[in-house]
C-alpha cells in the first residue's frame, strides 16, 4: 500500500503511540483530582501545554486550550469571538476554506451575520485588495486558512494581519492552521494572530485531539460549558493520552521540519515533474511556489477523477480526488472552482499528499504507474478529438 493522502489523515508515529501508552495503562487518573495519583496526569497536561506553546510560539501556555479536533477548534474560535461581542455582525473569510469553517459561516448568515467571501486567482493566491476593501470597523472577525487542504497553497498570514490591524485594530484574526502544522513553521506572535486552530491527526498524532491558541487579549464565550477545565474555555475532562500524543507529535514535527521542507518537497517535486512530463493531458492546478512541501494537485483533462482513484486503488495507491464526489456530492471542488480550473480538468483532479514516511521507491512506483493508468482511462474517454488536439499541442 502506498499512502499519498496525508492531508486527509496521517499514520500515528510509533514514538507518539509509545508516549501515550502509560496514560492509558498506569497513569489514568483525572488530571483535576486532588490526590497524589493524579499528579503524573496533571503534570503531563502542563508539559504538553508548554510544548504546544513553543510549537506555535505563543507567549504563555495559558493561551493554549485542548480540543477534540480542528473542527472544534474553528467552531470554538469563531462562535466564541462572535458570541463574546454580539454588537459586530460582519465577518470576512475566503472562498476556499475547509467545510468546517464554510458551513459554519452559512449557518451564521442565516442568523443575520453578513459574510464576505474573498476570492483567489488561478494559482490559488488570495485577492488581498478585495480583502482590504472589505474590512470595516464593524468587522468582528477575519478568518483565513494558513494552507489549503486541497492545493497546499499558503496564504500570506503576516501580510493579512498587518492589513487587518491597520484598517480595524479591534477586528479579531482567526487562522485555520490544520494543514500548515508540521509542514511549515508556525509563529502566532510573529504573524499577529489572535486565534489559531490545529488538529493532531494531520501531523502523526491520533484522530480526536486538537488545540486552539487564543491570545491573552482575545476574550471568547466558550462553546462547551460545564466544568472548569481549560480555564473555563472548554469544559470536559481532558483527554490526557491523546494530548500527550499530540505534544510528542509536535516535538517530532519541529525536529522534522527541515526534512519536510527538503526531502518531502524533493519527492513531491519528483512526482509532480514526472507526471507533468509524461502525461500529456495533465496540468498543475496551482502555481509552482508558495505551497506546503507535501502537496500537489494535478488535473487530468477529459477524464474522471473517481475512475483514476479506482485504478490507483487497485494498485494499492491511495490519493484523493479534487471533486467532492467521494463525500456524496457530485459538485466539483469549491476550491478548484474558485480558482477557475477549466471544466475539462476539474473533474479529473487528483491531490497527492506525502509525509515523512513516503519513500523514494514508492514515488518511483507511482511515477511508473500513473501514465499507464491515465492511458487506460483516456482510451475510453468520449472526448477523443479534444484529447488528440491536446496531444498535438504538447
For the chain, what's the residue count? 394
Min dist CB 249 to ligand PLP, Å, is 13
DSSP code string of 230-272: GGGTS-S---HHHHHHHHHHHHHHHHHHHHIIIIIHHHHHHHH
Question: 88 or 351: whose CB is closer to ligand PLP?
Answer: 351
What separation in angstroms does the CA of 356 have from each of 36, 42, 58, 243, 265? 39, 31, 26, 21, 10
Q: CA–CA separation, 265 vs 50, rounded Å? A: 29
Binding site for ligand PLP (CB under 6 A): 69-71, 98, 100, 145, 149, 176, 178-179, 199, 210
- Annotated catalytic residue 325: yes
Identify the active-site residue in 69, 100, 318, 325. Answer: 325
Min dist CB 72 to ligand PLP, Å, is 7
Min dist CB 110 to ligand PLP, Å, is 22
Question: 203 or 302: whose CB is closer to ligand PLP?
Answer: 203
Question: 70 or 293: whose CB is closer to ligand PLP?
Answer: 70
Dihedral sign computed on CA atoms, order 297, 117, 178, 236: negative
Question: 149 or 378: whose CB is closer to ligand PLP?
Answer: 149
Cell digits of residue 350: 487528483
Question: 100 or 140: whose CB is closer to ligand PLP?
Answer: 100
Dihedral sign computed on CA atoms, order 339, 341, 346, 350: negative
| Residue 243 CB-half CA count within 13 A | 27
Provide the 10 A C-beta neighbour count for residue 261: 16
Min dist CB 223 to ligand PLP, Å, is 14
Min dist CB 176 to ligand PLP, Å, is 5
Residues involved in catalysis: 325
Amino acid at each position: 500500500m502506498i499512502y499519498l493522502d496525508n492531508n486527509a489523515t496521517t499514520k500515528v508515529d510509533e514514538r507518539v503511540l509509545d508516549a501515550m501508552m502509560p496514560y492509558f495503562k498506569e497513569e489514568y487518573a483525572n488530571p483535576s483530582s486532588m490526590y497524589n495519583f493524579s499528579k503524573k496526569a496533571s503534570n503531563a497536561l502542563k508539559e504538553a501545554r508548554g510544548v504546544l506553546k513553543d510549537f506555535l510560539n505563543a507567549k504563555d501556555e495559558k493561551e493554549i486550550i485542548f480540543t477534540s479536533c480542528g473542527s472544534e477548534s474553528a467552531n470554538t474560535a469563531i462562535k466564541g469571538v462572535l458570541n463574546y461581542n454580539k454588537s459586530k455582525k460582519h465577518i470576512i473569510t475566503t472562498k476556499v476554506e475547509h467545510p468546517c469553517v464554510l458551513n459554519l459561516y452559512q449557518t451564521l448568515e442565516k442568523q443575520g451575520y453578513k459574510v464576505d467571501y474573498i476570492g483567489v486567482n488561478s494559482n490559488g493566491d488570495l485577492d488581498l485588495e478585495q480583502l482590504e476593501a472589505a474590512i470595516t470597523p464593524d468587522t468582528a472577525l477575519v478568518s483565513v486558512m494558513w494552507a489549503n487542504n486541497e492545493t497546499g497553497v499558503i496564504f500570506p498570514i503576516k501580510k493579512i494581519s498587518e492589513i487587518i490591524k491597520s484598517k480595524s485594530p479591534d477586528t479579531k484574526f482567526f487562522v485555520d492552521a490544520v494543514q500548515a502544522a508540521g509542514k511549515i513553521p508556525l509563529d502566532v506572535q510573529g504573524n499577529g494572530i489572535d486565534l489559531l486552530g490545529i488538529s493532531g491527526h494531520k501531523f502523526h498524532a491520533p484522530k480526536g485531539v486538537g488545540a486552539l491558541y487564543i491570545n491573552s487579549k482575545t476574550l471568547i464565550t466558550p462553546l462547551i460549558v460545564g466544568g472548569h477545565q481549560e480555564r473555563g474555555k472548554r469544559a470536559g475532562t481532558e483527554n490526557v493520552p491523546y494530548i500527550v500524543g499530540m505534544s510528542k507529535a509536535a516535538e517530532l514535527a519541529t525536529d522534522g521540519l527541515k526534512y519536510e521542507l527538503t526531502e518531502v518537497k524533493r519527492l513531491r517535486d519528483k512526482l509532480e515533474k514526472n507526471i507533468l512530463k509524461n502525461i500529456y493531458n495533465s496540468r498543475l492546478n496551482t502555481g509552482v511556489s508558495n505551497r506546503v512541501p507535501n502537496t500537489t494537485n494535478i488535473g487530468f483533462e477529459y477524464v474522471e477523477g473517481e475512475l483514476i482513484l479506482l485504478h490507483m486503488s487497485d494498485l494499492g495507491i491511495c490519493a484523493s480526488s479534487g471533486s467532492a464526489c467521494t463525500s456524496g456530492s457530485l459538485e466539483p471542488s469549491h476550491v478548484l472552482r474558485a480558482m477557475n480550473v477549466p471544466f475539462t480538468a476539474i473533474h479529473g483532479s487528483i491531490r497527492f499528499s506525502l509525509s515523512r514516511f513516503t519513500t523514494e521507491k514508492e514515488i518511483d512506483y507511482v511515477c511508473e504507474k500513473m501514465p499507464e493508468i491515465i492511458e487506460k482511462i483516456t482510451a475510453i474517454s468520449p472526448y477523443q478529438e479534444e484529447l488528440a488536439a491536446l496531444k498535438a499541442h504538447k
